[in-house]
Amino acid sequence: MPGRLAAAAFVLRCAGAAVLALPIASWAGLDHPVWATVSALVVSQDRLGDTRRTLGWRLVATAVGIGVAIAVGNLLAGAGPGVTLGVAVAICAALVRWRSDLRLSMWTAAIVLLTVAPGQGIAQAGFARGIEVLIGCLVGAALHQLAEMAVFPQR
C-alpha cells in the first residue's frame, strides 16, 4: 500500500505543481509564466532528496544561463540572433562538459535570448525568466515536501 500511496502522491503533486505555478507567475505579471510550470515539473522527482538536489542545480543552472545570455547578448548585440544564440549555447555546453548538472543552463540561455520583447533589455528578460523559474521551483519543491509529510509523517 505505501508504494501506491507514494505513486498517487507523485502524480498529484506533479499535476498540482504544474497547475499552481502558472497562476502564481501570471499573478506576478511575468511575461512567460509557462516557464514557472515547466520548472515546477523539472524539479519534481520521485524522492525528496532528488527533488532537493534538482532544485539546487536548477537554480544554479538558471543563474549561469541568465548570466551567459546577458553577457553574450550584450557583447554580440549586432551579430544577429543566430550567432548570439549559438555562442551562448556553446559556452553553456562547454560548462556542461565540466559539470553535467548545469545542463539546464543551455535551455535558460536560449530561452532568455529568444524571449526578449521589443523594447526590453536582455537583463530584464533574464530577470523575468529567473523569477519564473524560481516560482516554479519553489512551488514544485514545496508540494513535494507537503506530500512527503502527508504520505510519510514519521520521516
From first to last of its 155 residues, what are the pLDDT tens digits of the chain? 467 877 888 888 899 999 999 999 999 999 999 999 999 999 988 887 888 898 999 999 999 999 999 999 999 988 988 999 999 999 999 999 999 999 999 999 999 999 999 999 999 999 999 999 999 999 999 988 888 777 767 65
What's the confidence (pLDDT) of residue 154?
Answer: 67
Task: Using the CB atoms, write b or e for 122-135: b if 16+ within 10 Å.
Answer: beebbebbbbbbbb
